[in-house]
Amino acid sequence: MNIDVFIVDAFADKPLSGNPAAVCPLTSWLPPETMQAIAAELNQSETVFFVPEDDGFRIRWFTPTREVDHIGHATLAAGHLILSRLNTMLDAVRFRTGDDYMLVLRDGDGVTLDMAALPPVPSIVTEAIVAALGATPKKALAAKHHLFVFDHPQDIAALNPDMAAIAKLDLPAVIVTAPGGEGSDFVSRFFAPANGVPEDSVSGVSHCCLAPYWAKRLGRSRLIGRQLSTRGGIVVCEDRGQRVVLGGKATISLEGTLHLPGAKSV
């Protein structure tokens, strides 16, 4: 069996920036252990697989170590691949996951991702959190992941968290954020060592939490976020209540064929 494989940079504001995802289109599912082995082999923060279903696609995501859910940048990458290469007649792609869905739509020379919002609620700053971050946040909130708020962009850039301690916290990952500097409304970083991703380059799911928080704090629904990872990236956010729309550019940076002798679909 041969499988087409693409590396797509999502939320990329320049070449070789943003967050790369491996994208593997399938005609039918492979065994989960095979998909996990492929994700480990490709060694991207996420590898996304999708198969046709009704008027859209069913989608699954794997880090190098485990299957995960609702990964924004990899879904945007998969949508970009379909719209730009696999079916250029489409204007939108619907991906189904569990009982939920995610939409990728054309938007000028970029794409947008429509997915469920994750509005955070107040939480507390514990000694374990301070020890894990190596700094004391001004405010703590939580949704699917922890959200810690600082005063200045420099606070976010300077963080050097203890990844082993981050992985032991009670939620899967940690988002840190502060008001933005020039060209952005807020900045952020995203740490998910428990999922096999110490620091994500540009996270879609974190902005499903960040967009509602900053929309409420700043009093407007449309925002620009900058993720301060090594690669960096820009996410244009729109808070729509129950949903969040995330926009950015994507580009196919690598493509090839994975050879799997003896592999079978399920």
- Residues classed as catalytic: 46
The SS3 assignment for 212 reads: helix
Provide φ and ψ at 36, rounded to 5°. Answer: -65, -40
β-strand pairing of 174-179 with 146-149: parallel
Of 95, 74, 14, 31, the C-alpha closest to 197 is 74
Provide φ and ψ at 132, rounded to 5°. Answer: -70, -40
Tell me how far apart the alpha carbons of residues 12 and 136 are, in angstroms, rounded to a whole number.
31
Strand partners, 233: 227
Q: How many Cβ atoms are within 10 Å of 15's Cβ, its own excluded?
A: 9
Chain centroid to Cα 184, Å, comes to 19
Tell me how far apart the alpha carbons of residues 43 and 30 are, in angstroms, rounded to a whole number.
18
Which whole-number Å values give the CA distances from 93 to 98, 100, 147, 193, in the listed order? 16, 14, 30, 30
Residues in the chain: 266
The SS3 assignment for 36 reads: helix
Please, what is the angle between helix 72-81 and helix 204-218, to 10°?
Answer: 110
List all residues 6 or more positions away from 135 whose beta carbon is below 8 Å from its beta carbon. Answer: 150, 155, 158, 159
Tokens of 244: 């969040």
